[in-house]
């Protein structure tokens, strides 16, 4: 093959994958100490990384830009971190953050992937997958106050691992056949797991600990709940409603 033919083949390949290099822009700004990130209607893909005291670097992946650039570092972030991904199949990975106030993430429409790894949230955590089939992973994250994790509509896959929740904890699967896996977590205040409509599956275990009252609600259609090495403090009220299959 001559080099001219090779060049022609590469041009053809690029022509057939126009979306791969057009993954939109995320607008970022700091207002009164709060970092606000807003995705557009394209499939955005970003990393949000704590890189120093009150300093957060946001990096675009797969062609996504931040304020028109490949990456941007935001200083003096000592309030909330709020991320709205907008329409499109978005992906966000949040790592090594110390959030002074709330961490709020919304996938909005589209099949979104939301990943948290190794963060401290000193106030509330709120994650909402939104309308599409979302994947939410919370790993090695410590929340000092209340948490709400919601899949929203359609089938959502949620895995919460190796994390501490000091305040009230609420999980809502919403409509659709959802899957929730909780492993090696500590829930220090009251917890509610509500799977919503759909045939939902839930595994809670691998050393997961509940220090206060907890309620598991399959909530309609055919739901399964499996416990494997789950611990409850003495005197804790455990309510289990509306599961067709339950094992421990």
User: Which residues bind to Ca ion, rule: CB under 5 A?
Assistant: 39, 44, 85-86, 88, 90, 107-108, 110, 112, 129, 134, 151-152, 154, 156, 173, 178, 195-196, 198, 200
Structure tokens belonging to residue 53: 């005291």
Least distance from Ca ion to the Cβ atom of residue 219, Å: 7
Least distance from Ca ion to the Cβ atom of residue 137, Å: 14
Q: Is the dihedral of CA 14, 19, 20, 24 positive or negative?
A: positive
Least distance from Ca ion to the Cβ atom of residue 191, Å: 17
Of 112 and 188, the one with the shorter C-beta distance to Ca ion is 112
Of 112 and 146, the one with the shorter C-beta distance to Ca ion is 112
Of 112 and 166, the one with the shorter C-beta distance to Ca ion is 112
Of 44 and 119, the one with the shorter C-beta distance to Ca ion is 44
Least distance from Ca ion to the Cβ atom of residue 226, Å: 16
Answer for the pair 49, 72: CB distance below 8 angstroms, yes or no.
no
Least distance from Ca ion to the Cβ atom of residue 149, Å: 11
Answer for the pair 169, 187: CB distance below 8 angstroms, yes or no.
yes
Of 65 and 79, the one with the shorter C-beta distance to Ca ion is 65
């Amino acid at each position: 093959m001559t080099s001219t033919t090779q060049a022609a083949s590469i041009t053809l390949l690029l022509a057939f994958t126009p979306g791969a290099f057009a993954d939109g822009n995320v607008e970022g700004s700091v207002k009164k100490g709060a970092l606000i990130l807003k995705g557009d209607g394209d499939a955005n893909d970003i990393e949000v990384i704590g890189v120093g005291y009150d300093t957060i670097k946001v990096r675009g992946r797969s062609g996504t830009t931040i304020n028109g650039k490949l990456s941007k570092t935001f200083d003096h972030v000592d309030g909330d971190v709020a991320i709205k991904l907008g329409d499109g199949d978005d992906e966000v990975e949040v790592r090594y953050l110390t959030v002074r106030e709330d961490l709020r993430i919304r996938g909005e429409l589209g099949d979104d992937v939301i990943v948290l790894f190794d963060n401290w949230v000193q106030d509330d955590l709120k994650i909402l997958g939104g309308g599409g089939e979302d994947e939410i992973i919370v790993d090695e994250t410590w929340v000092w106050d209340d948490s709400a994790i919601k899949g929203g509509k359609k089938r959502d896959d949620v895995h919460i691992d190796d994390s501490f929740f000091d305040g009230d904890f609420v999980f809502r699967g919403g409509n659709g056949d959802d899957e929730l896996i909780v492993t090696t977590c500590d829930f220090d205040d009251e917890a509610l797991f509500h799977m919503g409509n759909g045939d939902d599956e839930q595994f809670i275990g691998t050393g997961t600990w509940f220090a206060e009252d907890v309620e598991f609600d399959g909530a309609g259609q055919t739901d399964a709940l499996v416990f494997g090495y789950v611990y409850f403090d003495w005197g804790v009220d455990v309510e289990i409603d509306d599961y067709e299959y339950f094992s421990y």
